Structure 1
């Protein structure tokens, strides 16, 4: 074939690495076996799947890039901090061998924990580096806390509506889930108090800063009343602060008022730096962090050094602050445009968020969000039906829109057509 021996050897090595061929020393290279056929039917969206808390995630994650995803919970790839990520990756490639190959310490990357300690201080949260433990993601952080504090059958309070994966994760822990209605200023305090008396919950999970899915902001008055109620019970609060970098001005943090006594503060960087690079954190009392570190070792052994190192480099890169300023401006502009386009087809926002990417919207009277979502999915538009977020299933006429993912005119054309047909 007029190819050099080295070229053929390299080709064989690559095919062997892919598992297509196998090497038999002293004999040669042989086909490993029949190649599994590509099942094209498995690539498309599963229309028959029940519209439950995992529906939006499965549709958003399983469909390809040609599908429009105004219902997903992340920024478009073009909005992410790609330039900073590439610089961080180049720096990581030059790191010491241990950084590239070894396990991290139980609490994780020291310099990143020191950075997080300083960053939390800007929102009033006092957390020493030894009170912070890194996790693989925000979801793993909540999972570890649930393993630490919950037994099957315990009761957990969530906002109604709340981030749909809270429901799915808590079901995996076999606990009772009770929803508390969420208002424009935070959870309904009277209903929260009634739930405490009736159910004696062990945990309450909520968003600080920008609430998912409503875009609302916790008021200082509601925050103080919540903590006062929590003080009279055995309740522990998990405060998910994943959207902190989208805020224009910091909202009240329960962890700041509480001093990390009964509030556990968590976050990650999947929304602003990279969802592909998994890195989150937990801030809590030192004795709880010690127990959580043991659980982390028991369930995942050691975290990786590399992701934390890349995240820290990206966060401290000279361009990150300017990048986020640009993102906040783009989101504000796109928020107004999306509201205008939705109002034109009869879909109205529940409130106008101060910041962030989410719009919680009510459909025209008589419309069902799940039916609408199934119809739009047939035309390659993934929506987020309200009842996926609602424990009481009382949001059948709501949809959550991600304004950053709603820039294509086809989103609104498909929506308008589906509304007219329902």
Structure 2
């Protein structure tokens, strides 16, 4: 029997049939029950096997095609795309190597609004300062209308860079404006670093678990990825030191504060050891501090200890202020910043001058500071509640977070979090499996929960359900 016809559709679950089909077929592809090149049932055949109309099947196949999971062939039907995951995921420059990571990101945007995105990385829209942003947009349009149509300067708006310089000082990083480049989100900062500092075949260290978009970017460039376990106090420095006896990495990518996805912070003793290793083995640390503004009282940063000698510092405001304004920044040695600006000009000319002017005004007027105070209080309340809810239902928390909006958690008797993903669908919930956050997609029992959604009735029913779940895949 074709595995695709064996998907179970629950018409009374409240989850649209299209979503259930997309999730079911995606699971079959990821678990290799449907192999690359396999032909899927025709639209008519799949609809008949599920006893549903053809329209949900048409929509599901269209969405799977957009995600790159399947490919249509004129006159022949639909086939599983040629995925290059698993053992081959660590090298090569074929763009298909990053396909899995791209799909993971796209799935955050492709589920309809009525499903609860429990693993989402976004602050809810209702929590954002829409009024403050709107007022500032109008102010910039009145006072600087040319910003609506002009290119931004390659380094970024001068006022914004000055504001960023002051923000860096808050976390102990002493940087001149010449050390700073404004980027289109922190993701562009990562892209510029990878493009300029790495070539196919180079080796880098990454955290395991870590940021899946980074993994995809590195694979796209043919860079070899070596994972270092992330512990409660930061990367496993003993493991890293052992690796450095046999490999010579160019870079080590580290998420310092409210790490994605474990929500842990790098402890001072770990930070000192990491910098010692960087000096001894001549590699550069890329410190991703994208969640810095969630933290009310700054803890130790690698860049504050090192002052940009062996560290490149990345930050941004997309996670807190606005995902649409897309403002990130990078601080590094002046010579490196100059080179990265050249790459930025070649690849994108410049950023959005209008977005940069709006964000600069928000920072100058204190609007952003007041908003952050409200946001931190709200996150603090939901975080403590989320941890309490999970532990009440027997879930295990990796390490109780001190802030941020993530909890890295597991159900003790479930070995593969794909089980959680499948069960979550029954409650109208979309959940990302822990394998998404591992360098080469290895199975994991852990999942990331966005605490903003943990008190939703659907989430509470799901937490309780999994506490008593004893089924097998």
Measure the CA separation in 2 of the matches of 1:380 and 1:196.
45
State the Cα deviation string for residues 318-373 of structure 1 (Å, max 9, x = none): 34323212221221211121122222332111111111111111222234212321
Shift in Å, 1:162: 0.9
Which among 116, 132, 140 is matched to residue 188 of structure 2? 140
**1:372 corresponding residue in structure 2:** 420
**2:151 corresponding residue in structure 1:** 103
What TM-score does the superposition give when structure 2 sets the normalisation length?
0.77
Which among 322, 343, 348 is matched to residue 396 of structure 2? 348
1:312-351 alignment to 2 at 5 Å? Answer: 312-351=360-399
Shift in Å, 1:161: 1.0
State the Cα deviation string for residues 106-159 of structure 1 (Å, max 9, x = none): 101000001111110111101111110111111111000111100001011111
Q: Does 1:251 align with 2:299?
A: yes
In 1, are the aligned partners of 2:427 and 2:458 still within 8 Å (CA)? no
Measure the CA separation in 1 of the matches of 2:178 and 2:404.
30
Unaligned runs of 5+ in 2: 1-54, 71-82, 86-99
Question: 47-56 or 62-71: which moved more?
Answer: 47-56
Residues 357 and 226 (structure 1), Cα distance of their counterparts in 2 relative to 1, 3 Å cut:
same
Measure the CA separation in 2 of the matches of 1:83 and 1:376.
35
Q: Does 1:390 align with 2:462?
A: no
In 1, are the aligned partners of 2:163 and 2:363 still within 8 Å (CA)? no
Q: With a CA cutoff of 8 Å and minimum separation of 6, indicate the structure with the bigger relative contact order.
A: 1
State the Cα deviation string for residues 259-287 of structure 1 (Å, max 9, x = none): 11121111111111111111111111000
Measure the CA separation in 2 of the matches of 1:47 and 1:131.
39
Unaligned runs of 5+ in 1: 1-36
**2:332 corresponding residue in structure 1:** 284
Measure the CA separation in 2 of the matches of 1:47 and 1:175.
22
What SS does the corresponding residue of 2:182 show, helix, strand or coil? strand
Shift in Å, 1:89: 1.1
Measure the CA separation in 1 of the matches of 2:392 and 2:455.
15
Measure the CA separation in 1 of the matches of 2:63 and 2:393.
31
Residues 93 and 43 (structure 1), Cα distance of their counterparts in 2 relative to 1, 3 Å cut:
farther
Measure the CA separation in 1 of the matches of 2:222 and 2:178.
31
What TM-score does the superposition give when structure 1 sets the normalisation length?
0.86
Shift in Å, 1:187: 0.8
Residues 301 and 322 (structure 1), Cα distance of their counterparts in 2 relative to 1, 3 Å cut:
closer
Residues 69 and 282 (structure 1), Cα distance of their counterparts in 2 relative to 1, 3 Å cut:
same
What's the C-alpha RMSD, in Å, of the aligned pairs?
2.4
- Paired residues in the alignment total 386
